[in-house]
Amino acid sequence: RGKRFIGSWWRQNIVKPVEKAVKQVVVKPICRVVNYHGIESAKDKRSSASDAVNLARQDVFHLKSQLSDLTMSREMYVKELEMENKRLEVLNNTLTEMKGRQLLVSSITTQLKAANLYLTNFYGTSTILLDEIKRLVDFERLITPLNAVYTEMLNNHVMSAFPGGQISVETIEHVKMNLDKLKVVLPNMPPIDRYTQCY
């Protein structure tokens, strides 16, 4: 009984107070420290998670803004491309029309050159023809010798006189006047086709 009493007293007066003191002095502060660090760690983790969420939200907002800008740029470039395609189509049509006009102008120019050459040759030939006719009826070079031959043949009784056998100066001048008139009128006359037959 004595040992039990001592043991009970020991626990009651020594062990329990010491345990209580240890809990108050050592265990509770340690728990507080552990709990504090746990809470702070949790706070840090929560803060980090919140920061990460905020960063993610900022990234999403930034990406959405970039996507919106890119979409607007794409729409603008598509419209510009459509305008350039329409402008290119107009230019191609204009180029085709210009080529057609160029061919038409070239054809007309060729025809005008041919007509000009034909008219130049025609009127040049006409002028030459008139000059040659006037030269043939030149009194001094042709008519005077013919009249002399006619007179000589009459004097020698080789032939009899006939009307118009002696060509007078008045006749020559009249012919020259008619040729001068023909020279003025002939260039205004329509050209005669080379295949046209004269009857």
Q: Are residues 88 and 144 in the same domain?
A: no
pLDDT of residue 53: 78
Answer whether residue 163 is part of any domain.
Answer: yes
Instruction: Verify that 62 and 5 share a domain, yes or no.
Output: yes
Kindly state whether residue 124 falls inside one of the protein's structural domains: no
Residues 3, 51 within the same domain: yes
Q: Is residue 95 part of a domain?
A: yes
Cα–Cα distance measured from residue 166 to residue 149, given in angstroms and rounded to the nearest whole number: 10
Do 106 and 153 lie in a common domain? no
Count Cα atoms within 13 angstroms, Cβ side, for 148: 7
- The pTM of this model reads 0.34
The tens place of each residue's pLDDT in the chain, 199 residues long, gives: 544 555 566 666 666 666 666 566 555 665 665 555 566 666 666 777 777 778 888 888 888 888 888 889 888 988 988 888 888 887 777 667 766 666 665 565 566 556 555 555 555 555 666 666 666 656 566 677 777 887 888 788 777 777 777 777 777 777 778 777 776 766 666 555 544 444 4
Quote the pLDDT of residue 129.
60
Inside any domain, residue 11: yes
Is 124 within 8 Å of 183 (Cβ atoms)?
no
Report pLDDT for 154.
79
Please tell me whether residues 75 and 163 are part of one structural domain: no
Domain of 1 in residue numbering reads as 1-112
Q: Are residues 96 and 10 part of one domain? A: yes
pLDDT of residue 2: 46
DSSP state of 162: -
One-letter amino acid at 142 equals: L
The span from the CA of 140 to the CA of 48, in Å, is: 133
For residue 179, the model assigns a pLDDT of 72
- On whether residue 125 sits in a domain, the answer given is no
Q: Are residues 82 and 174 in the same domain?
A: no
Number of domains in the chain: 2
Amino acid 63: pLDDT: 86
62 plus 96 within the same structural domain = yes
pLDDT of residue 131: 65
Same domain, 15 and 104: yes
What pLDDT score does 37 carry?
A: 58
DSSP 15: I
Same-domain check for residues 9 and 104: yes
Tell me how far apart the alpha carbons of residues 111 and 103 are, in angstroms, rounded to a whole number.
12
